[in-house]
Structure 1
Amino acid sequence: MKKIILITALFLTSAAFLNAASPLDQLKSLVGSWEGTAKWTGDRTGEYNLEAVYSLTGNGSAVVENLIAEGQTTMTSVYHMDGGSLRMTHFCGAGNQPRLIASSFKEGEKISFKLVDVTNLSSPDAPHVTAVDLNLQSPDTMSITFTFVSNSKTSVELIQLHRK
């Protein structure tokens, strides 16, 4: 009897794991248009309105995020799986491309990314993103936190978005 209970428990645990949404599936739920505000703190300061547009590309294998603010360069990030790891490449207004990997994932809540490397970085002190947190607060509300380093000084950009 104990063996049957143990086998049943293992089967149910495995089934729940296989049915759990992947981090990329969570991001696919963002597809559409969003609007909100961005606020810088730290070495860089300022506040502005912006729009975000999420779409799928690569036959649904990647999520494209475009952050659009009047008078500023559009920033694009692409989220995709690499085996079992969620990756992010951020095409920054600074002209470089930080590549990040999800370091933690809490389904339906938060995905944290840490820096792997940066392509087209002119020097180690050049401005670049070092970390990103996505907080999925509800199906229609989210925030994105970018940690940005320039000349060894840190700034944080908090973006609050709601679905249009």
Structure 2
Amino acid sequence: MMKSLMAAAMLLPGAAGMPAAAQNSEQDAGPVGPASQFAMLAELQGEWTVDQTEQLRIVFEVTAGGTTVMERWMVGERTHSLTLYHLDGARLVATHYCPQGNQPRLEAQADGEGGIDFGFASATDLDSSESYQHDLHIAPQADGSVVRSEVYFGPDGPGDPSALILRRAG
């Protein structure tokens, strides 16, 4: 079942208050700076359905005293993967804990479109035969949905971009 979920995602086309870590931050260079990006992620707190499949839910949770946003991909009551977002000095970083066992670390870039673009920085426990998350884009939409897209790289280079449309559950 998980292989079919991952394959389906790869083939697809492309409210919480502001946490303490993002309040009054001197490191925020403007509307798309790291603290504003972190606050945008914190506002995703809650459960989201995925338009492309009924089997997958995505849950965002602000944790660690408001300093970390946790994104859990849930299949039934089982966690499939996990991504943690947090500020690291003057940058916003994400670590993705992949079911393959590797942990790519990504760094946010400024995005003038109101979303967040993350690019690959490094990885731990990455085997040369594994694919790994290389690019991630999270973009809130005017209708309240969120487009979450990503590109995985593997031994043969970049894979096709995938995109999921998330909608608040309930």
Corresponding residue number in structure 1 for 2:37:
23
Corresponding residue number in structure 1 for 2:145:
141
Q: Tell me whether 137-146 or 50-59 shows the greater mean CA deviation.
A: 137-146
Q: Secondary structure at the match of 2:58?
A: strand
| 1:19 Cα deviation after fit | 8.3
| 1:88 Cα deviation after fit | 0.4
Amino acid paired to 1:27: L
Aligned positions, number: 138
Corresponding residue number in structure 1 for 2:58:
52
Name the CA distance, whole Å, in 1 between partners of 2:77 and 2:156: 26
The runs of 5 or more residues in structure 2 that have no matched partner are: 1-27
Q: Bigger radius of gyration, 1 or 2?
A: 1
TM-score by length of 2: 0.72
| 1:140 Cα deviation after fit | 2.8
| 1:73 Cα deviation after fit | 6.0
Q: Secondary structure at the match of 1:121?
A: coil
The runs of 5 or more residues in structure 1 that have no matched partner are: 1-16, 39-46
Superposition CA RMSD, Å: 2.5
* Aligned ranges 1:1-164 → 2 under 5 Å: 20=31, 22-38=36-52, 49-69=55-75, 74-106=80-112, 109-123=114-128, 125-138=129-142, 140-153=144-157, 154-164=159-169
Q: Tell me whether 70-79 or 141-150 shows the greater mean CA deviation.
A: 70-79
| Contact 1:48–1:69 (8 Å) recurs in 2 | no
Name the CA distance, whole Å, in 2 between partners of 1:89 and 1:60: 17
| Contact 1:145–1:158 (8 Å) recurs in 2 | yes
| 1:37 Cα deviation after fit | 3.5
Identity across the alignment (%): 27
Amino acid paired to 2:58: A
TM-score by length of 1: 0.74
Name the CA distance, whole Å, in 2 between partners of 1:22 and 1:94: 31
Name the CA distance, whole Å, in 2 between partners of 1:22 and 1:101: 14
| Contact 2:51–2:167 (8 Å) recurs in 1 | no
| 1:22 Cα deviation after fit | 1.4
